[in-house]
Amino acid sequence: MEKFKTLTAVAAPLPMINVDTDKVIPARFLKTIKRTGLGKHLFDPMRYDDKGAEKPGFVLNKAPYRDARILIAGENFGCGSSREHAPWALLDFGIRCVIAPSFADIFFNNCFKNGILPIVLPQETVDELMEDAGKGGNATFTVDLEAQEIARPDGEKIAFEVDPFRKHCLLNGLDDIGLTLERGGKIDGYEGTQRGGQPWLWSGATPA
């Protein structure tokens, strides 16, 4: 996983609530066995017409936002399907940070597994950032994960919260599985206890 330290970029404003992961990437694009190459399908229904041509009105089709690496959206972003193809598509497009008043749980979790930083801020703050973001190519933001601060285009700093363990993993690009396997002895111990106390969980697990 790529480390996340600081990010300076244009932010794309997407002032919509309840953006579901079907909207981020429809199911018909999930027939892949790879994690990469999904950026071209990001927000497909909003980004392209039924002939496959770009809709000029959609934010990511406008000049400064083609290079956006930050996305600012409305409440409950990423609701619906657990598909990790949603963060994969964002990442493949270049988005490394999503800012919203709230996120759906699974999407929020999936972001951290892919080096994307989701930031929750109060609605009023998101509204202000959304307005900044609307100023286009001249409005760049800097997200500093170590300091837990976003610098607005005018230089004002906004603090944000992040879970310490997730922050540590993002800053260092750590692989969760490697960390967990280091605790293999504890997993062995747990399994031994469960096998003794709840033996039915250990017999007949496989279908006949």
Partner 1 sequence: MSRPRTLFDKIWDSHVVDTQEDGTCLLYIDRHLVHEVTSPQAFEGLRTAGRPVRRPEATLAVPDHNVPTTDRSQGVDDEESRIQLDALETNCAEFGVPYIPVTDIRQGIVHIIGPEQGMTQPGMTIVCGDSHTSTHGAFGALAFGIGTSEVEHVLATQTLIQRPAKNMRIAVDGALPNGVTAKDMILAIIGKIGTAGGTGHVIEYAGEAVRALSMEGRMTMCNMSIEAGARAGLVAPDETTFAYIEGRPMAPKGGQWEQAVAYWRSLPSDEGAVYDKEVTLRAADIAPQVTWGTSPQDVLPITGSVPDPAAIADTVRRESVERSLEYMGLAAGMPLSEVPVDTVFIGSCTNGRIEDLRAAAVVAKGRKVAEGVQALIVPGSGLVKAQAEEEGLDTIFLEAGFEWREPGCSMCLAMNADKLKPGERSASTSNRNFEGRQGPGGRTHLVSPAMAAAAAINGHLTDVRDLTG
| Site residues, partner 1 (CB under 8 A) | 15-18, 20, 22-23, 26-28, 30-35, 45, 50, 74-76, 79-84, 87, 102, 104-106, 109-110, 113-114, 163-165, 176-177, 179-181, 183-184, 186-187, 190-191, 194, 198-201, 203-208
Question: How does DSSP assign 145-208, residue by residue?
Answer: TTTTEEE-TTS-EEE----HHHHHHHHHT--HHHHHHTTHHHHHHHHHHHHHH-GGGSSS-S--
Which one, 54 or 67, has the nearer CB to partner 1? Answer: 54
Which one, 15 or 64, has the nearer CB to partner 1? Answer: 15
Question: How does DSSP assign 29-74, residue by residue?
Answer: G---S-SSS-GGGTTHHHHB-TTSPBPTTSGGGSGGGGG--EEEE-
Q: Least Å distance between CB 79 and partner 1? A: 6
Q: Least Å distance between CB 20 and partner 1? A: 5
Q: Torsion over CA of 153, 158, 161 and 165, rounded to 10 degrees?
A: 50
CA 141, CA 68: separation in Å to the nearest integer? 10
Which one, 102 or 142, has the nearer CB to partner 1? Answer: 102
Q: Least Å distance between CB 182 and partner 1? A: 10
CA 123, CA 158: separation in Å to the nearest integer? 13
Which one, 155 or 200, has the nearer CB to partner 1? Answer: 200
Q: Least Å distance between CB 24 and partner 1? A: 11
Which one, 156 or 175, has the nearer CB to partner 1? Answer: 175
- Name the residue among 6, 7, 16, 15 with its Cα closest to residue 128: 15
Extract the runs of DSSP E, i.e. beta strands, from 78-156.
97-100, 117-120, 140-144, 149-151
Q: Least Å distance between CB 99 and partner 1? A: 16
Element (H, E) at 8: strand 6-14
Which one, 3 or 186, has the nearer CB to partner 1? Answer: 186
Q: Least Å distance between CB 183 and partner 1? A: 6
